[in-house]
Amino acid sequence: MELPNIQILDEKDKRLHQKSEEVTFPLSKDLIQTIYDCLTYLEMSQDEELAEKYDLRAGMGLSLCQIGIMKRIFVVSEDHGDGTFGRYIVINPKIISHSEELIYVGEGEGCLSINRETIGIVPRYARVKLKAYNEFGEEYTIRVREDIAIAFQHELDHLEGIVFTDKIDPKNPFKNKNIMREI
């Protein structure tokens, strides 16, 4: 398997703090290929052997703004642990509803654009329902929960120009931890 030519922007890049634009259909063949390349990159990063070979940090999601394409598109690849992956292509997403319950990642969230240690928690909804489109312009509705819900919300933030560290209170990085559930 060959590593796709994906160059991930560092957090210092101003584009990561800009809002991405709505996508119009049909998508170009090049853009569809880029979407598939991002999924392949994520899957390779989650394979220990390939990650070591190519010096990759494991990633579960990637917004196209993280590679300099300012479109409202993100992908998530969920490792099922048996050599297969759940692939999500999410274009022009809109949250329809969410749970009241808040959760957070115990060891802290990570981001392929942030190459430093971060301390603190980010409150996320335990369950999210959204409307989006696939790469062919077909609308769908999806409900996600737990770690996939966190990944979707993390990537949705990127589309709004928000990096997860923006959501950590610098004075109190574990603020309100007692009212959320750790996952």
Annotated catalytic residue 155: yes
Q: Which two three-digit tokens encode residue 43?
A: 């899957």
Provide the 10 A C-beta neighbour count for residue 103: 22
Reduced to 3 states (helix: H, G, I; strand: E, B; else coil), residue 55 is coil
- Given 107, 109, 155, 160, the catalytic residue: 155
CA distance 137 to 15: 25
Where do the H-state alpha helices sit in 16-145?
A: 29-45, 48-54
Cis peptide before 26 (omega within 30 of 0): yes
Catalytic residues: 155
